Amino acid sequence: MKNISVIGSGTMGNGIAHTFAQNGYAVALIDINPEALARALATIAKNLDRMVSKGSISEEIKVQTLANITTYTSLAEGVKTADLIIEAATENPTIKKKIFEDLSALAAPHAILATNTSSISITEIAAVTSRPALVIGMHFMNPVPIMKLVEVIKGYQTSQAVCDTIMEMSIKIGKTPTLVNDYPGFIANRILMPMINEAIYSLFEGIAGVAEIDTVMKLGMSHPMGPLQLADFIGLDVCLAILNVLHDGFGNPKYAPCPLLVKMVTAGDLGVKSGKGFYDYAAGMKDAKVAANFLK
């Protein structure tokens, strides 16, 4: 397992590419948009510069990491020599299935096909391929170069050999892999999203304000970030999509998204990515202020 292809050069894709390249793997970073690829390389370089300034890596490691990454706009060219292909495209089942259908025909017969999905069924994605035993989930956490967890998701037909290979590889890139089975939300989001949803409901029902809810969880429960700020960081549209997967998958009303979350996403207040969510990010992340008086 020497050649890694990463599909999608957004926040997660460039972070995954950075992590593998820094650990000595040859990485093909693939995106149909050449401008997105240029932005991804600039982001990786900026993050490496920050690591050099902090003394966590040397200038030589930075240079070698960047040298380990090659960009492609062609899926066929980008995956033809890959041993492992990690899809990190938009969290949309239709898009992901189309990518995996193409990969089934384009990738080398031995290549493992992984998806970075945070909630979409691995079994459902694997079903569109001719190699479901070689399909697995690798759910990295954001920011990928820093966060240690990789949630490894075993689909219904994923082979044990593939699970073992991905668990071992995750350790080699400095991560702590945790193996889970393929059910809605897996483990991370099955636990996290109801907490975030309950925090939004608490705000919606006027129990406490944004800062108060986040302060309780940070100081009372030692969370590094409050649930509402975390929702902004993840993206409120992503939170809504995951809650819908949980609600549809289990049919349990406890996963029903809070009406306030639905309203905010409809209005385009998606959190950090749009500049406004529960907090206003006009002055930057560090100086974010509560966006509005949500209390009734």
CATH architecture for residues 189-290? Orthogonal Bundle (1.10)
Which listed residue (151, 197, 202, 247) is catalytic?
A: 151
Give 221-251 as a 3 state SS string: HCCCCCHHHHHHHHCHHHHHHHHHHHHHHHC
Query: Is 209 a residue whose pLDDT tops 90?
Result: yes
- CATH 3.40.50.720 domain range(s) in the chain: 3-181
Q: What is the pLDDT of residues 36-90, one digit of tens each?
A: 999 999 999 999 999 999 999 999 999 999 999 999 999 999 999 999 999 999 8
What is the sign of the dihedral through the CA atoms of 78, 80, 86 and 92? positive
The pLDDT of residue 294 is 82
The mean pLDDT of the chain is 96
Is 18 annotated in the active site?
Answer: no
Where would I find the H helices in the chain? 11-22, 34-53, 59-67, 75-79, 93-106, 122-126, 160-172, 188-204, 210-215, 221, 227-234, 236-250, 259-267
Q: Which helix (H) or strand (E) holds 129?
A: none
Is 197 annotated in the active site?
Answer: no
The pLDDT of residue 91 is 87
Query: Is 135 a residue whose pLDDT tops 70?
Result: yes
**Distances from the Cα of 41 to the Cαs of 67, 158, 181, 201, 228, in angstroms?**
11, 33, 34, 39, 30
Distance from the Cα of residue 86 to its chain's centroid: 11
Q: How many residues can be counted in the chain?
A: 296
Which listed residue (3, 68, 119, 189) is catalytic?
A: 189
Mean pLDDT for the stretch of residues 10-24 = 97
DSSP string, 255-277: GPPPHHHHHHHHHT--BGGGTBS
The pLDDT of residue 35 is 97
Query: Is 284 a residue whose pLDDT tops 90?
Result: no
Is 247 annotated in the active site?
Answer: no
Which listed residue (47, 139, 197, 202) is catalytic?
A: 139
Q: What type of residue sits at position 126?
A: A
Which superfamily does 3-181 belong to? NAD(P)-binding Rossmann-like Domain (3.40.50.720)
Give 81-97 as a 3 state SS string: CCCEEEECCCCCHHHHH
Is 189 annotated in the active site?
Answer: yes
Query: Is 258 a residue whose pLDDT tops 90?
Result: yes
Residues contacting residue 248 through CB under 8 Å, at least 6 positions apart: 184
Distance from the Cα of residue 59 to its chain's centroid: 28
- CATH 1.10.1040.10 domain range(s) in the chain: 189-290
Bridge partners of 86, per DSSP, are 6, 114
Which listed residue (47, 118, 119, 197) is catalytic?
A: 118
| Cα–Cα distance measured from residue 20 to residue 36, given in angstroms and rounded to the nearest whole number | 19
Residue 12, token pair as written in the block: 């997660």
